[in-house]
């Protein structure tokens, strides 16, 4: 596996909490490019936390989820711990398989992906 462009969890004040707790502290980066990456990391943390919560609510392990998605377990664990970058399609896959990931307040998945 190639090395990621950046490590999302490195932008959090407490990287070991990435994906595990709902709210993390995010120190403000100085450069605009770092702000963009920090914002992406923050969004990844949000989805990681949502997905890990859904797995817990459904009584599924991360290993079982990796199997459900056809992904390598090592990659899955690195993504949800913030060691490698989450892909957008992984968010939609989680929404389709687990539900209640993208918007826990009830926005239906089909509003995000309407195809002709």
Does residue 3 form part of some domain? no
Whole-model pTM?
A: 0.85
Residue 19 counted as domain residue:
yes
The model's pLDDT over 81-90, given as tens digits with 9 standing for 90+, comes to 999 999 999 9
User: Which pLDDT score is estimated for 1?
Assistant: 53
Query: How many domains are there within the chain?
Result: 1
Q: With 80 as the cut, is the pLDDT of residue 68 above it? A: yes
What CATH number is given to the structural domain containing 23?
A: 1.10.260
Residue 1 covered by a domain: no
Is residue 101, in this structure, part of any structural domain at all? yes
pLDDT cut 90: percent of the chain above it: 67
Residues of the domain holding 30: 8-111
Helices within 1-116 (DSSP H only): 32-58, 62-69, 73-80, 88-98
What distance in Å separates the CA atoms of residue 66 and residue 77, rounded to the nearest whole number?
9
Q: Is 41 among the domain residues?
A: yes
């Amino acid at each position: 596996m190639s090395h990621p462009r950046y490590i999302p969890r490195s932008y959090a004040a407490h990287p070991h909490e990435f994906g595990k707790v709902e709210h993390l502290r995010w120190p403000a980066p100085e450069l605009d490019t770092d702000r963009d990456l920090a914002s992406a990391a923050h969004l990844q943390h949000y989805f990681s936390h949502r997905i890990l919560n859904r797995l817990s609510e459904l009584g599924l392990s991360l290993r079982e989820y990796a199997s459900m998605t056809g992904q390598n377990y090592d990659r899955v664990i690195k993504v949800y711990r913030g060691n490698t970058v989450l892909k957008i399609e992984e968010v939609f896959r989680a929404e389709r398989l687990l539900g209640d990931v993208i918007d826990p307040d009830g926005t239906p998945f089909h509003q995000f992906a309407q195809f002709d």
